Amino acid sequence: MDGIKIKPIAYIKTDFTQKFGIPRQSGRVKSLRAKIVFLPEYRKKEALREIESFSHLWLIFDFSLAHREEWSPTVRPPRLGGNRRVGVFASRSPFRPNNLGLSCVELISVEYEKENGYVLNVGGADLLDGTPIYDIKPYLPFSDLIPEARGGYADGEAGHKLDVVLEEKILKKIEEEKRQPIIDCLADDPRPSYQDDENRIYKMTFAKYNIEFAVDGNVLTVIEVSVI
């Protein structure tokens, strides 16, 4: 069977300029905001007709930093400690034969911009800034929501959150609209599961900020925030 060629229809603009710190799944950090900008060929108002009647959208995107010439049939999910292997098709690892990702985001609004035409403002995206989007489809609750579905080995991590300690003097260094997203991303525990050294200082980039933090047990303490 001959392969097919697909090309991006849009790119997403987010506050994540590095992979470290991006939530492991979409929707886990609902306070995040992002913008989907269509390529000129697809900036057609009629292509978005009635999209605002849906509350959520599926994004099919490219794991653009995970491209490799060869693929492995097994991967090590970070949430399993980095040592246990599972089948690549039993994971959401970015290292896949076709490097395609799937995320569900909240549609906040459709907005017209002079430079970019109609753009989609979305919430809860777990994508790197500049990620190519191949397709967009509406989320349908009557078919996409399956209450009795099993989450396999990922079920145990569904409710995992850290308590974030952030002193007022450090918080004031962050512009107000970015504060809650940063706190929520930190609470989601950006560390790989195999890293639990309480003496280690971690660094995360979000928007124009470098954030340094340490974790002791279930408590994450922000040590410093600086502007890039």
Average pLDDT on 144-152 reads 91
Strands laid side by side in the 163-165 sheet: 163-165, 219-227, 209-216, 202-206
133 has a pLDDT exceeding 70 = yes
Average pLDDT on 12-31 reads 93
> Which tens digits make up the pLDDT trace of 158-186?
678 999 999 999 999 999 999 999 999 99
CB 27 within 8 A of CB 5: no
Regarding beta strands 219-227 and 163-165, do their DSSP bridges make them parallel or antiparallel, or are they unpaired? Answer: parallel
Q: How confident is the model at residue 102 (pLDDT cuts 50, 70, 90)?
A: very high
pTM of the predicted model as reported, rounded to 2 decimal places? 0.91
Average pLDDT on 203-227 reads 96
In this predicted structure, what is the pLDDT of residue 198? 75
Q: How confident is the model at residue 61 (pLDDT cuts 50, 70, 90)?
A: very high
In this predicted structure, what is the pLDDT of residue 5? 86
In this predicted structure, what is the pLDDT of residue 24? 84
Q: How confident is the model at residue 153 (pLDDT cuts 50, 70, 90)?
A: confident
What share of the chain has pLDDT > 90, as a percent?
A: 75
CB 14 within 8 A of CB 32: yes
142 Cβ contact partners less than 8 Å away, ≥ 6 residues apart: none
User: Cα(108)–Cα(125) distance, rounded to whole angstroms?
Assistant: 12
Q: How confident is the model at residue 69 (pLDDT cuts 50, 70, 90)?
A: confident
192 has a pLDDT exceeding 80 = no
Q: Name the CATH code of domain 10-64+99-144 (choices 2.40.30.70, 2.50.20.10, 3.40.50.2300, 2.40.50.140).
A: 2.40.30.70
Tell me the domain boundaries of the chain: 10-64+99-144, 160-227
What share of the chain has pLDDT > 70, as a percent?
A: 94
Q: What's the CATH architecture for 160-227?
A: 2-Layer Sandwich (3.30)
Calculate the average pLDDT of the chain: 92
In this predicted structure, what is the pLDDT of residue 194? 65
